Amino acid sequence: MNKREVQASVKDERLVQKRRDQMIKGAVALFKQKGFHRTTTREIAKAAGFSIGTLYEYIRTKEDVLYLVCDSIYDHVSERLQQDLALKKGTLDSLKLGIANFFQVMDEMQAEVLVMYQEVKSLSKDALPYVLKKEMEMVGMFENLLSRCVENGELHLSKKQVAMIAHNIFVQGQMWGFRRWALRKLFTLEEYIELQTELLLSGISAEVSATGTVPKSE
């Protein structure tokens, strides 16, 4: 199965979705502020705009909230990326665009990503795989982009290199979110995107590569 169902006592599917959206929105704000463990179910209910009793009509345990939050975040990010990338053909330019878009999404959803990033480990062994699977899918999207460039002959990379780079891109995206305390002092988002793309494509040492066309920026 692709989703881990979170049981609700309420039948009306539309209502369930509505309530859960309220819940997720409130929870993200709280988790961001104090983390999952320091947030109480009462606080979540209040932030969501209903009572603790009602909260438990739509979830079974507190952990369900975390799962719902993580799930929702991945869905949003995933969706955002798929929109942008799905159509593109496998050119280097579309890869660059893909990376730039991803970093941009990471910037926009900074709060959510940070939350998810710090709290996934709190998911039970039960829910974790579903979330990890989502992550693999996203890495897979970059693998796809890269592979198509390889197929096109625009890049020459081994399978392993493709996998490695996809991971690197993904982690660098997250890095912009969870290391912003350090990075923001050094770069704007635009600079970050440009620098990372540049480094990714050309490497740091001209002598080592064949061409030596490393730009002396600044």
Partner DNA sequence: CATGAATGAGCCTTCATTCAT
Partner DNA sequence: GATGAATGAAGGCTCATTCAT
Chain centroid to CA 39: 22
69 within 8 A of 123, measured Cβ to Cβ: no
Q: What residues from 80 to 109 belong to the interface with a second copy (CB under 8 A)?
A: 92-93, 96-97, 100, 104
* Per-residue mark of binding to DNA, 33-62 (x: CB under 7 A): -----xxxxx-------xxxxx-xx--xxx
Task: Find where tokens 């891109």 sit.
Answer: 169
Instruction: Residue 74: name the closest of 106, 44, 46 by CA.
Output: 106
Residue type, 155: L
12 binds, among a second copy, DNA, none (CB under 5 to 8 A by kind): DNA
- Asked if 167 touches DNA (CB under 7 A), the answer is no
Cα(98)–Cα(110) distance, rounded to whole angstroms? Answer: 18
Cα(72)–Cα(57) distance, rounded to whole angstroms? Answer: 19
* Per-residue mark of binding to a second copy, 20-59 (x: CB under 8 A): ---------------x-xx---------------------
Smallest gap from Cβ 36 to a second copy, in A, equals 8
Region of 158 please: left (phi>0), alpha (psi -120 to 50) or beta. beta
Interacting residue ranges for DNA, rule: CB under 7 A? 9-12, 15, 19, 38-42, 50-54, 56-57, 60-63
Interacting residue ranges for a second copy, rule: CB under 8 A? 35, 37-38, 92-93, 96-97, 100, 104, 118, 121-122, 132, 135-136, 139, 154-161, 163-165, 167-168, 171-172, 175, 179, 181-183, 186-187, 189-218
